[in-house]
Structure 1
């Protein structure tokens, strides 16, 4: 039995683009998504009709993803260029489906990460604020230097830090920054900022595992010193 594809009679190709912006791509039909990718039709065929013709040529999306360039070119309005573009689109979708989230290391202990950061940050003349975003297995899925300069709550705002956590679907995070003076002792500002960030993480369900402060050859782990949460 032929599966019915999501085909709509929409006269204006700009409507799918506008609706994608307003409502998101999930609100669009298969035909509308393909019409956006095709961009234009071929006179006198409107791009929405062209998208409908392409989808109607195949039983369902499963058979459509196996379409060859030759099969696509048999459809009126689909020349070699559009056929190649469709094949490229299908292949990109296949690769995205098979893609796994990249990892750049696994956190086993604050000590190990601190030793790495001492080597990386010890000679910096400005404070560098680094965030490590982790998955549920404590694997690093993203490392970002978010701020350069003196750490203060007006610059290093939790909103900016947790924006990355949400973007990368992180389960937890570790933050770190260096003290150019070489003294890894946390300041009162460091402690208050860490406690505030920990509380924000609790509300969002994204745990702050540690805040590591780097000196020239030493470090301080606020988790090890039990300074993460406000007492």
Structure 2
């Protein structure tokens, strides 16, 4: 968002550095524009009424569109859309990270969060932590995704074992694992796309 704000002020001929610094005082990194109260909005707009009002409208609209798009794209029936989404989110990360997508009964995204961060080449993930988060959010199902900084998109033996454990626990808890993704900067791998839906025989 910082780059967008800077570019916005610069395009309008404002002192982009000064205006961006002021913006960051009101809205630090990670601030949810949709939760902004009327007093904060009024104070910020008063700093530069014409420009700041337009900026807030643009950022608010952007966050609304982003949230709407995220709800639509996560579906077990549309793995390609999720694969590209996960690739955009994780593909360029320098450390291996595991992200968890939690879904409701309509297969809409209700949570997308990092659950583990590893070294350059490996990550140590706990199924217990994953299911704790899923149950806390009252999720219906889940999808797991992690990146390979090495650029190799194919799953390792450890990746397959981890997916197997998540599937088995999900079956026991009634919280199914719908798919498992691996992403790099240039590609993604989907367990369901490459090998078909999970079946008990897969893990015999």
Q: The TM-score by the shorter chain falls in which range? A: 0.5 to 0.7
Residue of structure 1 equivalent to 2:4: none
Shift, 1:135, TM fit: 0.5
Shift, 1:212, TM fit: 0.4
Residue of structure 2 equivalent to 1:92: none
Q: In the aligned structure 2, how far is the partner of 1:119 from the partner of 1:225?
A: 20
Where does structure 1 differ by over 6 angstroms across 4 or more consecutive aligned residues?
none
1:183 and 2:149 aligned: no
Does the CA-based 8 Å contact 2:92-2:184 persist in structure 1?
Answer: no
**Within-5 A mapping of 1:120-159:** 120-150=89-119, 151=122, 155-159=124-128
Q: RMSD in angstroms over aligned alpha carbons?
A: 1.9
Q: In the aligned structure 2, how far is the partner of 1:123 from the partner of 1:144?
A: 16
- Structure 1 residue corresponding to 2:133, chosen from 140, 157, 164: 164
Q: Deviations over 1:13-67 (max 9, x none)?
A: xxxxxxxxxxxxxxxxxxxxxxxxxxxxxxxxxxxxxxxxxxxxxxxxxxxxxxx
Larger Rg: 1
**Within-5 A mapping of 1:205-216:** 205-216=174-185
Residue of structure 2 equivalent to 1:105: 71
Residue of structure 1 equivalent to 2:32: none
Q: In the aligned structure 1, how far is the partner of 2:102 from the partner of 2:143?
A: 7
Residue of structure 2 equivalent to 1:44: none
**Which structure has more RCO (C-alpha within 8 Å, separation ≥ 6)?**
2
Shift, 1:224, TM fit: 2.0
Q: In the aligned structure 2, how far is the partner of 1:194 from the partner of 1:225?
A: 14
Q: Deviations over 1:40-99 (max 9, x none)?
A: xxxxxxxxxxxxxxxxxxxxxxxxxxxxxxxxxxxxxxxxxxxxxxxxxxxxxxxxxxxx
Q: In the aligned structure 1, how far is the partner of 2:91 from the partner of 2:112?
A: 18
1:202 and 2:171 aligned: yes
Q: Deviations over 1:124-155 (max 9, x none)?
A: 11111000000110011111100111555xx3
Unaligned 5+ segments in structure 1 are 1-101
Q: In the aligned structure 1, how far is the partner of 2:133 from the partner of 2:170?
A: 12
Query: Structure 1 stretch 138-147 or stretch 114-123: which is displaced more?
Result: 114-123
Q: How many residues align?
A: 128
TM-score if structure 1 supplies the norm length?
Answer: 0.52
Q: In the aligned structure 1, how far is the partner of 2:147 from the partner of 2:104?
A: 24
Give 3-state SS (helix, strand or coil) of 2:111's partner. Answer: strand
Q: In the aligned structure 2, how far is the partner of 1:165 from the partner of 1:123?
A: 26
Unaligned 5+ segments in structure 2 are 1-66
Greater helix share, 1 or 2?
2
Shift, 1:121, TM fit: 1.7
Residue of structure 2 equivalent to 1:217: 186
**Within-5 A mapping of 1:20-59:** none
